[in-house]
């Protein structure tokens, strides 16, 4: 009969995020930037409340509000995007760095879409009339979709970077950074107008 030998169990490593403070800070900043874009439809719903009141009927008001909620739908399809982001590399990016490639490319396209939205703001908000919810959705839906794709790649990078004893901090960066970014976006749009900056100017600056 074979004898089983008990292997000594080494001491359990305690989490120490201070050892990876710069990695943690970088991830936190990236999730914060991600949160600004992700919660942009919700921030605009708050800042455009006065414009929505210009709609002539309750049906038009609900339609604009519905468009803003539809803009958040891409995050319901993350399971569809995840295998594509995890297994396929974009051209010009080696397989080893393919997730960074997704973040860079989606970030560039997001910046471009934000600049286009700012330059086309008169189409979305024609002044004294009801906002054009369909035009706003045409910009916000791809912006949120790009943010969703980037978020998948960033999640994978966070897990790899903090793998081991600090893996529990991944959730902290996701929640803290995302929530903080959402508050920043909302604050920028609200306080920016009070300081004399228009919504398109703020969107252009974010881009």
44-63, pLDDT tens digit by residue? Answer: 887 777 777 777 778 777 88
Residue 164 has pLDDT above 50, yes or no: yes
Angle at 19 between CA 17 and CA 25, to 5 degrees: 60
pLDDT band for position 186 (cuts 50, 70, 90): confident
Q: Note the pLDDT of residue 92.
A: 77
Residue 135 has pLDDT above 70, yes or no: yes
- Ranges of beta strands (E only) in 20-69 are none
Contacts of 160 (CB under 8 A, 6+ apart): none
Q: Note the pLDDT of residue 12.
A: 59
DSSP 141-157: HHHHHHHHHHHHHHHHH
pLDDT band for position 108 (cuts 50, 70, 90): very high
Closest CA to 124 of 71, 73, 74: 71
**174 vs 10, residue with greater confidence:** 174
Q: How far is CA 199 from CA 6, 119, 188, 196, 205, in A?
A: 66, 11, 9, 10, 10
């Amino acid at each position: 009969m074979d004898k089983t030998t008990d292997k000594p169990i080494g001491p359990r490593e305690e989490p120490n995020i201070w050892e990876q403070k710069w990695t943690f800070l970088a991830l936190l900043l990236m999730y914060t930037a991600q949160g600004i874009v992700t919660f942009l439809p919700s921030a605009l719903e708050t800042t455009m409340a006065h414009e929505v009141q210009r709609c002539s009927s309750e049906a038009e008001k609900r339609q604009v509000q519905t468009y803003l909620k539809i803009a958040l739908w891409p995050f319901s399809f993350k399971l569809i995007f995840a295998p594509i982001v995890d297994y396929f590399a974009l051209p010009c990016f080696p397989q080893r760095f393919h997730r960074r490639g997704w973040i860079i490319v989606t970030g560039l396209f997001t910046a471009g879409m934000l600049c286009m939205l700012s330059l086309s703001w008169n189409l979305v908000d024609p002044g004294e009339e009801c906002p054009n919810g369909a035009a706003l959705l045409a910009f916000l839906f791809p912006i949120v979709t790009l943010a969703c794709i980037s978020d998948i790649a960033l999640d994978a990078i966070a897990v790899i970077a903090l793998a081991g004893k600090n893996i529990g901090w991944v959730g902290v960066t996701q929640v803290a950074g995302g929530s903080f970014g959402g508050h920043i976006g909302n604050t920028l749009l609200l306080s920016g107008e009070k300081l004399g900056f228009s919504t398109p100017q703020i969107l252009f600056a974010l881009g």
